[in-house]
């Protein structure tokens, strides 16, 4: 039988440290929306470990949605809401704004996307979070970031150049610029935590 599961090796390294941050920052109940779920390895790891929350994956690439489905079937969890929705952050409205959900969304997580998409996608992400999240809702980002225009490690600088060579619209983002956009969408920077391999967890809260 065909196995549609895909593997992103970094997820095995970063999922436990990310889980430990999510355990601290996510609201006590309701639905967590994941934007850009990729292979589905993160959400199928988080859902059984944060069983008091509902987990809703999204992914704009059809083959990756098949991978999320396959991971969800291999590691079933009653609180994992399948199938993953087809969502590009530039869509307006996002499908979750029109579909009925068992519980409202109070948190959005987005891992390793804003440096691997055009800069304007960060604005679309923030705009969607503004439309969806209630006061006190959380937007969690994970990935590499620059601080005040400077890379935080030589390896991030190399990675940034590699991304830009691949696609000139991509690149490691500056936290202060991300924060400025977030503020225009009613999202306040609450925490920035260093993570392994020169990544950061960045937590915004909806005012």
Ligand X SMILES: C[S@@+](CC[C@H](N)C(=O)[O-])C[C@H]1O[C@@H](n2cnc3c(N)ncnc32)[C@H](O)[C@@H]1O
Interface ranges with ligand X (CB under 6 A): 8, 11, 35-36, 38-39, 59-61, 64, 88-90, 111-113, 116-117, 121
Measured from the CB atom, the residue of 28 and 194 that comes closer to ligand X is: 194
Measured from the CB atom, the residue of 91 and 157 that comes closer to ligand X is: 91
Measured from the CB atom, the residue of 32 and 35 that comes closer to ligand X is: 35
Measured from the CB atom, the residue of 38 and 137 that comes closer to ligand X is: 38
Minimal distance in Å, beta carbon 161 to ligand X?
17
Measured from the CB atom, the residue of 29 and 166 that comes closer to ligand X is: 166
Minimal distance in Å, beta carbon 159 to ligand X?
12
Alpha carbons 85 and 170: distance in angstroms, whole number: 24
Minimal distance in Å, beta carbon 10 to ligand X?
6
Minimal distance in Å, beta carbon 66 to ligand X?
13
Minimal distance in Å, beta carbon 112 to ligand X?
4
Asked if residues 43 and 57 have their Cβ atoms less than 8 Å apart, the reply is yes
In the complex, residue closest to ligand X by CB: 38
């Amino acid at each position: 039988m065909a196995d549609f599961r895909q593997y992103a090796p970094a997820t095995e390294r970063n999922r436990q440290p990310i889980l430990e941050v999510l355990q601290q920052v996510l609201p006590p109940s309701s639905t967590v929306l994941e934007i850009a779920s990729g292979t589905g390895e993160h959400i199928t790891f988080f859902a059984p470990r944060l069983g008091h929350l509902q987990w809703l994956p999204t992914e704009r690439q059809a083959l990756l949605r098949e991978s999320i489905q396959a991971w969800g079937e291999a590691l079933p969890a009653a609180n994992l809401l399948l199938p993953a929705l087809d969502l590009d952050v530039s869509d307006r409205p996002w499908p979750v704004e029109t579909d009925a959900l068992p519980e409202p969304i109070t948190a959005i997580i987005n891992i390793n996307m804003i440096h691997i998409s055009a800069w304007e996608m960060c604005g679309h992400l923030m705009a969607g979070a503004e439309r969806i999240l209630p006061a006190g809702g959380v937007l969690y980002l994970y990935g590499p970031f620059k601080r005040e225009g400077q890379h935080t490690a030589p390896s991030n600088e190399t990675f940034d150049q590699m991304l830009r060579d691949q696609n000139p619209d991509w690149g490691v983002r500056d936290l202060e610029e991300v924060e400025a956009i977030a503020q225009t969408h009613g999202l306040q920077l609450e925490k920035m935590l260093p993570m392994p391999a020169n990544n950061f967890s960045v937590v915004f809260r909806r005012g």
